[in-house]
Chains A and B, each alone.
Chain A
Amino acid sequence: TVNQEASAFTRVMRPQGVALPMISMAVRLRLDEDETIAAARISLGPAGPVPHLAGSAMAYLEGRPADMQQFEAAAAAVLDSVALRSSKYRASQAYRKEMILTHLPLVLAKAAERARSSLVVPRGDDQ
């Protein structure tokens, strides 16, 4: 049902003279009645000329339970597919990897929680 689908977003910023985020992550999850993941969309940026749609992690999640263990595995899977780079003054590749491993499971968990609870998210609440 509609209530079992939700999205979540996060971005990591720095307080210095770089207006752009170090990395951003947006996810959407649809859960089945039994709370397994029916569909997942994960996109990240900056990760190249356009936002990166993390196909392998999305495929990995589909049909699996919506729990932290799977979300962490999905974040690890993202690292296999995404081509992160170091950008001067903005963020290193290693930092961006750490941010994906740290924050993507949290963002997925937030989307799952919203999908379960039918929580209406006020606009801008993710930031």
Chain B
Amino acid sequence: MSRLQMTVNGQAVDLEIPESRFLSEVLREDLGLTGTKIGCNEAECGICTVLVNGTPVVSCSYPAFKAAGTDVETIEGLSAGGKLHPLQQAFLDHGAVQCGICTSGLIMTSKALLDEKQAAGELPDEAAIKTALKDTYCRCTGYQSVISAIRQASGQDVPPYIPETGAAGFEVGKAQPNPDALAKIRGTAKFTDDYQFPGMLYARTLRAGVPHARIRSIDVSAARALAGVHAVLTHEDVPGRNLHGIVDLDWPVLCADKVRYSGDAVAIVATDSEAIAAQALDLIRVDYEELPAVTDAMRAVRPGAPEVHEGRPDGNLLKHIKVNKGDVADGFELADVIVDRTYRTPTTEHMFLEPECAIGVPAGYSPADFGGPFDADAARGETAYHDKVSIYVGSQIPYLDRDQAAAALGLETDQVRVVATLMGGGFGGKEDVAGQVHVAMLSEATGRPVKMLYSRQESLLFHPKRHATVIRIRTGATREGRLTAVEATLYGDGGAYASLSEKVLTRATTHASGPYAVPHVKVDCFAAYTNNAPCGAFRGFGVSQSCFAVESNMDILAEQLGLDAVEFRRMNTLDVGSVTATGQTMRESVGLNECLALVDRDMRRGDFQWAWQEGHFKFAWGLAIGYKNTGLGGGAPDKSSAEVEVWARPGEAVCAEVRTTSAELGQGLPAVLAACTAEELGIPASRVNVLLGDTDFCPDGGPTTASRQTFVSGNAARFAAQAVIAQLAPAAAAILECDTAELSFAEGQVSAGDSSVSLHEVISKATDDGVPTVAEYEYWAPETQPLGTGGDMHFAFGFCAQAVLCEIDTRTGLVRVRKVIAAHDVGRAINPLTLEGQIEGGIVMCMGYALSEHFIQEEGRPWTSVMARYKMPGIKFTPEIISHIVEHRTSTGPHGAKGVGELPSIPTSAAITNAIYRATGIRVRSLPVDQDELLLAMRTGGKDAEMGWGHTVPIPDVTLGGEG
């Protein structure tokens, strides 16, 4: 221990701490300044950036004693005195805050830049901003809003980029910051790891480290004997069901007989400190008999492959998914040109910047028992009494977490509570349970709160990824340009456990003829178990994969037919009246042609050329279109419940609260729910509090997946608000002495004819009369039909078109995206500001899919074991984005909205590889693009790039329809 003296946010700090502490630990743990976040602990992501004597440093790797005698500035210091720093205000105004986990890092890095420029009497341009922030990542925004916010904060006149949309209603359609953004920019927003319960223990998980092995024995005796260890649990200690899973129950809570991937959980410990937890893991002895591993989806479904789950009648074949429409033989008979290619997409990683964290709180916990402050009125948090096992976690499906934890604990579901905390990004990667079941078990075993925070490296090892696929697709068209048939065969690597593989790969299959009206379609998809990391939900949900194949073939066909790529698409696009591959007739809300026309118009402005060269750089445009269902579809019950309550407190304007367990992962759902509720009640959205994710206080919003929450929970909020109004109506009618049918509620007033009364007075009267001022509504989305029945498989689809301008350096092969023109048909923009954030972030994420991202596994062992080995796009690679919103409203969505979360992240990759082809004549068939391969092909006159980066074998041959 040594004495550390420094100044933090202007306050003198004097601490006696271990010499080994890093600055982030001192700030977060010793000083409680949790506005500084930790994303990787490997000095890679930059979100922990603080200023030391004005210089940005990554505090996770900065020895605390290096800061001795310095002035340290953190996000909390920026708005000291209550006034927001110009950067904070600009981030708020520009929508540069989404999940919020990277916000303090971005703002502090930007502050150093602004201070430096100000001292030099300069204004930062885009290049300076990109250089300053090149090592600070954001996974949500795509950086355009960050750049414009910084420029505005520096004094430049740069307004927020808000796309044009239809006229706003009272609140719906207005661009406004997400309600939680203010706390995020101040650094006061609490994510799971920011909670410190009195008496809390620290947990860790022992992971297999081998991809496939039988467990002969597990010896935890030495770990249990270690001082400071409170519990060591194995499969023998799981009180209830030792399985979990979103669709299939096949994933052990703790492995008993065998491990099926390197990240499998074998034992868990709860200890006094993280250091002791690490020691305890080292003392656990597991005797493994290693088994041959199968790590390739195509090999996995061949006879004789090692079985991942023994005893399944279909072996490693998780599911054979089929789409059939018409007769493809007839269709190809009609075709004048047929293009037949095989493509490959990589396993990819969500890289949400907040690693998974969960805290279990035991039933009967009072902070007072551990010397902490107790607040009898607190409903949740560190000062509250907890009457049941409670799990604090940032989760996309709180009720399912509750049910799965209850099953593992052997409890009834109402004996477990999930309290959703803010989530630092999810993108589908926080749907399966991570540590939430484990902390519940450990908290019950120890009688203490238990926190389990995954390191970035454990997060990479453990959590489900995006499916790697191999897709052979054969597309036929007449010489006039009419598509006649599509036949495709897909293999998807589901990894060790089912997770959402069946659903994801069903979506890849049903979308495998693209957003086109194709008369004859046959698609076979084989979802396989392997000993790789499980694969599950990931923004785009299978459609990002098949779109790459579909839209590559479309460009090849257009060229072979001698048709313009836009015109060829336009001739075949889905429109109202078209029938999809699954037999669904599109009856409304198909804005695809408008999207295509807008993008085409912008792309062809001026002296348009598809491709040209400047010096040693080749430039070219590439285009792709996409579509994505909203909602679960396929006959799955799809519902969301919301509760709305209103209050009229004396001396205050009317306020309301909307409650549901729909999850906010940075996509802006609270803003949508507040607007939908406010619109019905006729009060400002700023007067609507949004409470998400507490299963004891919020009705079930269902999973936050499939771009569904704006649609289903937006509707649930609307109808719940309408139900409240219906309850208030008799009180209003009594005051106005009229019939309830004559009433109208608008802008804080209730009117009938010429008379009106304030909503405040109506609520007061209703309250006095004992009329409930709260209502719950269970919204059921329009019914859908299972695949194969030919009915409506989905209740809505979003559509989009994207054109990208790529630059290829002929001296290195490096590809950069310079500009993206996008148009998205979202039905209705409930909040154009947060909507634009989804679009820009989705595009940049899909750009990473095309150009840099690959979670590499070598025989079931991740090579991508650290964040430094997985490059998502940084600010330096972000392109200019021009975004159009198209609003072909749905009749059933809230105000016509149909969701947008996944749509932007679907066609970008194909647009990029189509641009690369136009520039170089080389067709990239395997993602991500490898500049090494591309350059060598350019130098040798090659036509094909079929390796991609990170793959070690060429794309395998695929037999259409599968191998027997």
- Is residue B834 contacting chain A, with contact meaning CB distance below 8 A? no
Interface residues of A in 66-114 (CB under 8 A from B): 88-89, 91-92, 94-95, 98-99, 102-103, 106
Do B935 and A95 have beta carbons less than 8 Å apart? yes
Interface-located stretch among B299-307, B669-677, B697-705, B868-876: B868-876
Do A15 and B852 have beta carbons less than 8 Å apart? yes
Q: What separation, in Å, do the CA atoms of A22 and B928 have in the docked complex?
A: 17
Do B935 and A98 have beta carbons less than 8 Å apart? yes
- Is residue B22 contacting chain A, with contact meaning CB distance below 8 A? no
Q: Which of B814, B870, B931 contacts A17 (CB 8 A)?
A: B870
Do B864 and A14 have beta carbons less than 8 Å apart? no
Q: Which of A17, A19, A92 contacts B932 (CB 8 A)?
A: A92
- Is residue B844 contacting chain A, with contact meaning CB distance below 8 A? no
Do A14 and B939 have beta carbons less than 8 Å apart? no
Q: Which of B868, B928, B932, B952 has the most CB of A within 10 A?
A: B932
CB distance from A52 to the nearest CB of B (A): 20
Q: What separation, in Å, do the CA atoms of A39 and B870 have in the docked complex?
A: 42
Residues of A within 8 A of B877 (CB): 15
- Is residue A59 contacting chain B, with contact meaning CB distance below 8 A? no
Do A89 and B936 have beta carbons less than 8 Å apart? no
Q: Which of B813, B936, B949 contacts A16 (CB 8 A)?
A: B949
Q: What separation, in Å, do the CA atoms of A88 and B951 have in the docked complex?
A: 9
Residues of B within 8 A of A106 (CB): 811
- Is residue B273 contacting chain A, with contact meaning CB distance below 8 A? no
Q: Which of A91, A92, A98 contacts B939 (CB 8 A)?
A: A98
Do B868 and A19 have beta carbons less than 8 Å apart? yes
Residues of B within 8 A of A119 (CB): none
Q: What separation, in Å, do the CA atoms of A88 and B871 have in the docked complex?
A: 17
Q: Can you list, as one digit per residue, whether each of B809-822 has a CB less than 8 Å from chain A (1) or not (0)?
A: 00111100000000
Closest B residue to A89 by CB, please name it.
B950
- Is residue B856 contacting chain A, with contact meaning CB distance below 8 A? yes
Do B936 and A15 have beta carbons less than 8 Å apart? no
Do A94 and B936 have beta carbons less than 8 Å apart? yes
Do B950 and A95 have beta carbons less than 8 Å apart? no
Do A99 and B871 have beta carbons less than 8 Å apart? no
Q: Which of A17, A88, A102 has the most CB of B within 10 A?
A: A17
- Is residue B851 contacting chain A, with contact meaning CB distance below 8 A? yes
Do B935 and A89 have beta carbons less than 8 Å apart? no
| Category for how many chain A residues contact B | 10 to 19
Q: What separation, in Å, do the CA atoms of A29 and B854 have in the docked complex?
A: 41
Q: What separation, in Å, do the CA atoms of A69 and B877 have in the docked complex?
A: 35
CB distance from A17 to the nearest CB of B (A): 4
- Is residue A121 contacting chain B, with contact meaning CB distance below 8 A? no
Q: What separation, in Å, do the CA atoms of A15 and B876 have in the docked complex?
A: 10
- Is residue B780 contacting chain A, with contact meaning CB distance below 8 A? no
Q: Which of A17, A89, A99 contacts B868 (CB 8 A)?
A: A17
CB distance from A68 to the nearest CB of B (A): 15
Residues of A within 8 A of B610 (CB): none
Residues of B within 8 A of A18 (CB): 869
Do B812 and A12 have beta carbons less than 8 Å apart? yes
Do B950 and A91 have beta carbons less than 8 Å apart? no
Closest B residue to A95 by CB, please name it.
B932
- Is residue B863 contacting chain A, with contact meaning CB distance below 8 A? yes
Closest B residue to A22 by CB, please name it.
B932
CB distance from A49 to the nearest CB of B (A): 22
Do B936 and A17 have beta carbons less than 8 Å apart? no
Do B811 and A17 have beta carbons less than 8 Å apart? no
Do A92 and B936 have beta carbons less than 8 Å apart? yes
| Category for how many chain B residues contact A | 20 to 34
Do A14 and B932 have beta carbons less than 8 Å apart? yes
Using a Cβ cutoff of 8 Å, how many contacts connect chains A and B? Answer: 49
Closest B residue to A88 by CB, please name it.
B952
Residues of A within 8 A of B813 (CB): 95
Q: Which of A16, A22, A98, A103 has the most CB of B within 10 A?
A: A16
Residues of B within 8 A of A17 (CB): 852, 854, 856, 864, 868-871
Q: What separation, in Å, do the CA atoms of A91 and B928 have in the docked complex?
A: 15
Q: Which of B811, B853, B863, B928 contacts A103 (CB 8 A)?
A: B811
Do A15 and B871 have beta carbons less than 8 Å apart? yes
Q: Can you list, as one digit per residue, whether each of A5-22 has a CB less than 8 Å from chain B (1) or not (0)?
A: 000000010111111001
Interface residues of B in 855-892 (CB under 8 A from A): 856, 863-864, 868-871, 877
Q: What separation, in Å, do the CA atoms of A85 and B433 have in the docked complex?
A: 44
Residues of A within 8 A of B949 (CB): 14, 16, 89
Given A95-B935, A98-B939: A16 touches B814 (CB 8 Å cut-off): no
Residues of A within 8 A of B864 (CB): 17
Q: Can you list, as one digit per residue, whether each of B826-857 has a CB less than 8 Å from chain A (1) or not (0)?
A: 00000000000000000000000001111010
CB distance from A86 to the nearest CB of B (A): 9
Q: What separation, in Å, do the CA atoms of A102 and B877 have in the docked complex?
A: 24
Residues of A within 8 A of B856 (CB): 17, 89
Residues of A within 8 A of B932 (CB): 14, 22, 91-92, 95
Residues of A within 8 A of B851 (CB): 15
Q: What separation, in Å, do the CA atoms of A95 and B932 have in the docked complex?
A: 6
Residues of B within 8 A of A99 (CB): 812
Q: What separation, in Å, do the CA atoms of A18 and B868 have in the docked complex?
A: 7
CB distance from B465 to the nearest CB of A (A): 14
Q: What separation, in Å, do the CA atoms of A95 and B811 have in the docked complex?
A: 11
Do B863 and A89 have beta carbons less than 8 Å apart? yes
CB distance from A30 to the nearest CB of B (A): 27
Q: What separation, in Å, do the CA atoms of A22 and B813 have in the docked complex?
A: 12
CB distance from A23 to the nearest CB of B (A): 10
CB distance from B370 to the nearest CB of A (A): 43
Given A89-B949, A102-B811, A103-B811: A16 touches B871 (CB 8 Å cut-off): yes
Residues of A within 8 A of B814 (CB): 14-15
Do A98 and B952 have beta carbons less than 8 Å apart? no
Residues of A within 8 A of B853 (CB): 16
Residues of B within 8 A of A22 (CB): 932
CB distance from A84 to the nearest CB of B (A): 13
CB distance from B203 to the nearest CB of A (A): 29
Closest B residue to A106 by CB, please name it.
B811
Q: Can you list, as one digit per residue, whether each of B918-952 has a CB less than 8 Å from chain A (1) or not (0)?
A: 00000000001001100110010000000001101
Residues of B within 8 A of A95 (CB): 813, 932, 935-936
Q: What separation, in Å, do the CA atoms of A121 and B236 have in the docked complex?
A: 67
CB distance from B404 to the nearest CB of A (A): 33
CB distance from A94 to the nearest CB of B (A): 6
Q: Can you list, as one digit per residue, whether each of A24-53 has a CB less than 8 Å from chain B (1) or not (0)?
A: 000000000000000000000000000000
Closest B residue to A86 by CB, please name it.
B932
Closest B residue to A94 by CB, please name it.
B936
Q: What separation, in Å, do the CA atoms of A102 and B811 have in the docked complex?
A: 7
Q: Can you list, as one digit per residue, whether each of B775-816 has a CB less than 8 Å from chain A (1) or not (0)?
A: 000000000000000000000000000000000000111100
CB distance from B710 to the nearest CB of A (A): 33
Q: What separation, in Å, do the CA atoms of A116 and B931 have in the docked complex?
A: 34
Q: What separation, in Å, do the CA atoms of A94 and B930 have in the docked complex?
A: 14
Residues of B within 8 A of A16 (CB): 852-854, 871, 928, 949-950
Q: What separation, in Å, do the CA atoms of A12 and B853 have in the docked complex?
A: 19
Closest B residue to A15 by CB, please name it.
B852
CB distance from B130 to the nearest CB of A (A): 14
CB distance from B284 to the nearest CB of A (A): 31
Q: What separation, in Å, do the CA atoms of A59 and B813 have in the docked complex?
A: 31
Closest A residue to B616 by CB, please name it.
A102
Closest B residue to A96 by CB, please name it.
B932
Closest A residue to B940 by CB, please name it.
A94
Residues of A within 8 A of B939 (CB): 98
Q: What separation, in Å, do the CA atoms of A106 and B952 have in the docked complex?
A: 32
CB distance from A72 to the nearest CB of B (A): 14
Chain A residues proximal to chain B, CB less than 8 Å: 12, 14-19, 22, 88-89, 91-92, 94-95, 98-99, 102-103, 106
A-B contact pairs, 5 of them (CB 8 A): A15-B814, A17-B852, A89-B856, A89-B950, A95-B932
The 5 closest A-B pairs by CB, nearest first: A17-B869, A95-B932, A15-B852, A16-B852, A17-B870
**What 14 new A-B contacts, CB under 8 Å, besides A95-B813, A95-B932?**
A14-B931, A14-B932, A15-B852, A16-B928, A17-B856, A17-B868, A88-B952, A89-B950, A91-B932, A92-B936, A94-B936, A98-B939, A102-B811, A103-B811
